[in-house]
Structure 1
Amino acid sequence: MSFKKETPLSNAVFWAARKGNLALLQLLLNSGRVDADCRDSFGTTALMVASYSGHYECVKELIMQGADINYQKETGSTALFFASQQGHNDVVKLLFEFGASTEFQTKNGGTALTVASQYGHSKVVETLLKNGANVHDQLYDGATPLFLAAQEGHVTVIRQLLSTGAKVNQFREDGTAALWMAAQMGHSEVVRVLLLRGADRDADRDGSTALFKAALKGHNSVIEELLKFSPSVGLLKNGSTALHAAVMSGNLRTVLLLLEANADPTVPNKNNELPANLTKNDRILKMLHPIILIGDS
Structure 2
Amino acid sequence: MIGWSIRQGVVLCRAFRTTALMVASYNGHSDCARELIMQGADINLQRETGSTALFFASQQGHNEVVKLLFEFGASTEFQTKDGGTALSAACQYGHSKVVDTLLKNGANVHDQLHDGATPLFLASQEGHVTVIRQLLSSGAKVNHPREDGTAPLWMAAQMGHSEVVKVLLLRGADRDADRKDGSTALFKAAFKGHNSVIEELLKFSPSMGLLRNGSTVLHAAVMGGNHKSVNLLLGANADPTLPNKNNELPADLTKSDRILSALRPQILNGSS
Please name the residue that 1:202 is paired with: 176
Give % identity.
80
What are the ranges of 5 or more consecutive residues in structure 2 without an aligned counterpart? none
Please report how far the alpha carbon of residue 295 of structure 1 lies from its aligned counterpart in structure 2 after TM superposition: 1.5
What are the ranges of 5 or more consecutive residues in structure 1 without an aligned counterpart? 11-28
The answer to whether the 8 A contact 1:240-1:269 is kept is yes
TM-score using structure 2 length: 0.97
Q: Which residue of 133, 149, 163 corresponds with 1:175?
A: 149
The answer to whether the 8 A contact 1:43-1:72 is kept is yes
Please report how far the alpha carbon of residue 250 of structure 1 lies from its aligned counterpart in structure 2 after TM superposition: 1.0
Q: Distance in 2 between matches of 1:286 and 1:191?
A: 30
The answer to whether the 8 A contact 2:17-2:48 is kept is yes
Please report how far the alpha carbon of residue 151 of structure 1 lies from its aligned counterpart in structure 2 after TM superposition: 0.4
* Offset from partner CA, 1:104-144 (integer Å, 9 cap, x none): 01111110000000010000000000000000000011000
Q: Which residue of 76, 79, 84 corresponds with 1:110?
A: 84
AA aligned to 1:87 is G
Please report how far the alpha carbon of residue 39 of structure 1 lies from its aligned counterpart in structure 2 after TM superposition: 2.9
Please name the residue that 1:47 is paired with: 21
Please name the residue that 1:89 is paired with: 63
Number of equivalenced pairs:
271
SS in 2 for 1:38: strand
Query: What pairs with 1:1-80 in structure 2 (closer than 5 Å)?
Result: 5-7=2-4, 35-80=9-54
Q: Which residue of 231, 249, 253 corresponds with 1:278?
A: 253
Q: Distance in 2 between matches of 1:144 and 1:287?
A: 41
AA aligned to 1:250 is G
The answer to whether the 8 A contact 1:169-1:200 is kept is yes
Please name the residue that 2:234 is paired with: 259
Q: Which residue of 184, 189, 193 corresponds with 1:218?
A: 193
**Larger Rg: 1 or 2?**
1
Please report how far the alpha carbon of residue 283 of structure 1 lies from its aligned counterpart in structure 2 after TM superposition: 1.0
Q: Distance in 2 between matches of 1:61 and 1:197?
A: 44
Query: What pairs with 1:126-205 in structure 2 (closer than 5 Å)?
Result: 126-205=100-179
Please report how far the alpha carbon of residue 5 of structure 1 lies from its aligned counterpart in structure 2 after TM superposition: 4.7
Please name the residue that 1:249 is paired with: 224
Q: Distance in 1 between matches of 2:66 and 2:132?
A: 20
Q: Distance in 2 between matches of 1:271 and 1:187?
A: 32
Please name the residue that 2:266 is paired with: 291
The answer to whether the 8 A contact 1:37-1:68 is kept is no
Query: Displaced runs of 4+ in structure 1, greater than 2 A?
Result: 37-40
Please report how far the alpha carbon of residue 37 of structure 1 lies from its aligned counterpart in structure 2 after TM superposition: 4.3
The answer to whether the 8 A contact 2:182-2:211 is kept is yes
SS in 1 for 2:239: coil
The answer to whether the 8 A contact 2:8-2:40 is kept is no
Q: CA RMSD in A?
A: 1.3
Please report how far the alpha carbon of residue 35 of structure 1 lies from its aligned counterpart in structure 2 after TM superposition: 3.3
Q: Distance in 2 between matches of 1:172 and 1:103?
A: 20
AA aligned to 2:227 is L
* Offset from partner CA, 1:232-257 (integer Å, 9 cap, x none): 01110101100001011111110000
* Offset from partner CA, 1:161-219 (integer Å, 9 cap, x none): 00000000101111110000000010000000000000000000111100000000000
Please report how far the alpha carbon of residue 34 of structure 1 lies from its aligned counterpart in structure 2 after TM superposition: 7.7
AA aligned to 1:180 is W
Q: Distance in 2 between matches of 1:142 and 1:198?
A: 20
Q: Distance in 2 between matches of 1:56 and 1:295?
A: 68
Q: Distance in 2 between matches of 1:293 and 1:5?
A: 73
Q: Distance in 1 between matches of 2:2 and 2:90?
A: 27
AA aligned to 2:259 is I
Q: Distance in 2 between matches of 1:90 and 1:271?
A: 58
